[in-house]
Amino acid sequence: MRHIIIAAIVICLTASVSFAQVEPVPDEIDTAQLQKIFTEANELFRRANELAETKPVTSTGLYKAAADRFEQLARRGMIKDGRLFYNIANSHFLAGDLGRAILNYRRADRYISADRNLNHNLSYARRKCIDKIEPGEQSEFFKTVLFWHYDLPIATRAILFAIAYILLWTLAAWNIFSRRSALRPAVIVCLLLTAALAGSLTANVLQISGTESGVILASEVTARKGNSTAYQPSFTAALHEGTEFTVIEDRDRWLYIELPDGRKCWIPAETAELI
């Protein structure tokens, strides 16, 4: 039983990483100017909605202007907020910029992953992509076995971890002082749950901090076998806007990327943007 308690301590120490991101705060922020930009963005978006059916060209221009204002707000105010990225994504999507829409939906997903509207819009935008790249069989296997890791939002898993953590120590202490062997199976179950949830949350933190993902923004990109246009194309067809990838290497203004189905290639860095 003591080995179980020691293992629990190790797990809890490992899982004591803060999952909240600490963002830098500017020394001086002109809140009045930021409020003005926010008001302008909302007004542009509202006017675009009003003209969407009668004057689609004008509406598209207004959506682009709204996206620009929202992006100014995020950049000048150094604001990283899920709702703001969601507004940016919606503006780009309605303006017809699929790549930047998916890019900002993905950014929003880091902060408000449990939002149903966000998940719906992101799925809808992905269905609009020209490139239909399905995850490889290995990825699908892990997503099926570890469905709770992929399907449950980070906030939900954090709450479950806290409950399992408290139960683990409560039952462990009760077992030590009461010396009831009948409690050992419950302690082991709580230990396993705590370990699994801690590993799940830690994996998300490492993924966000250690692995860079991106989205292709150019309308069409020729993927190549090396970091130069002198190399042969990697695929018979080009890649298109909205295609998501993971960065393996960044070299000489070229990105070596991995697609969701496991294929790897090089693309010019200026054709994409990282999440």
Report the pLDDT value the prediction gives residue 4, as an integer from 0 to 100. 39
Q: Name the token pair of 32.
A: 């009045």
CATH dotted code for 31-127: 1.25.40.10
DSSP class of residue 270 equals: G
The per-residue pLDDT for range 36-52, each reduced to its tens digit, is 999 999 999 999 999 99
Among the listed residues 241, 239, 240, 230, the one whose alpha carbon sits nearest the alpha carbon of residue 264: 239
Share of the chain above pLDDT 70, in %: 83
Cα dihedral 97, 99, 100, 103 sign: positive
The per-residue pLDDT for range 206-237, each reduced to its tens digit, is 666 557 999 999 999 999 999 999 999 999 99
How long is the chain? Answer: 275
Report the pLDDT value the prediction gives residue 29, as an integer from 0 to 100. 63
User: How far is residue 214's CA from residue 247's CA, in Å, rounded to a whole number?
Assistant: 7
Q: Which amino acid is at 274?
A: L
CATH dotted code for 213-274: 2.30.30.40
- Rg over alpha carbons for the chain, rounded to the nearest Å, is 23
Report the pLDDT value the prediction gives residue 142, as an integer from 0 to 100. 59
Report the pLDDT value the prediction gives residue 177, as an integer from 0 to 100. 79
Domain boundaries, the chain: 31-127, 213-274
Report the pLDDT value the prediction gives residue 21, as an integer from 0 to 100. 39
User: How far is residue 38's CA from residue 31's CA, in Å, rounded to a whole number?
Assistant: 10
Residues of the chain with pLDDT under 50: 1-27
Q: Which residue matches tokens 């490492």?
A: 206
Report the pLDDT value the prediction gives residue 268, as an integer from 0 to 100. 98
Q: Which amino acid is at 25?
A: V
Cα 47 versus chain centre, distance:
30
